[in-house]
Amino acid sequence: MFSKSRINEPGPKQAGEPDVKPTTSEAPKPTGTMPSAPPAPKTKAPASTLSSDLVVKGNMKSTGDIVIEGTVEGDIRAHMLTVGETATVKGEVVADDVVVNGRIIGRLRGLKVRLTATARVEGDIVHKTIAIESGAHFEGSVQRQEDPLNTSGKKVGIKGEA
């Protein structure tokens, strides 16, 4: 690691050349009880994916992202939920951000809800913002709330069918 070799030292200085000190890649070692390096920044965990051949019977809860391609019979709570084109969810869905490409049978609650052209939703949607693409199939009521993830309190919004 350390050597007495002069291979990294600069050669003789030429006329008109600025006086530059060599630099090293090593920082001085701290003394005392301070940590030697700052903690590494947190990286976002990859989304949990349920493949198309997987059937889950039971509730799921995650603080991260979930991508479903298979079938879930139970309630789902997540930060971001993506329901794939081949997926079916039978139960209540609660997430900050929901993208539906497949089928949901049950109530959907989300801050941001997006039904793509291939989506099929049979149930009520409670949302803060919603986008429904042309071609999406939806049966139920739509209700806007400032805090759709909060299940307590008075529900305020407009009911209707899309």
Number of domains into which the chain is organized = 1
Q: What is the domain range of residue 70? A: 48-144
**Non-local CB neighbours of 66 within 8 Å, separated by 6+ positions:** 47, 48, 49, 50, 60, 76, 78, 80, 81, 82
Q: Indicate whether 36 belongs to any domain.
A: no
Does residue 87 lie within any of the structural domains? yes
Whether 80 is covered by a domain: the verdict is: yes
Asked if residue 54 belongs to a domain, the reply is yes
With respect to residue 158, please indicate whether it lies within any of the assigned structural domains: no
52 in a domain, yes or no? Answer: yes
Q: What is the pLDDT of residues 89-114, one digit of tens each?
A: 999 999 999 999 999 999 999 999 99
Residue 152 lies in a domain: no
Whole-prediction pTM value? 0.67
Domain-located, residue 95: yes
- At 105-160, the pLDDT tens digits run 999 999 999 999 999 999 999 999 999 999 999 999 999 999 998 865 444 444 44
Q: Do 69 and 53 touch, CB atoms closer than 8 A?
A: no
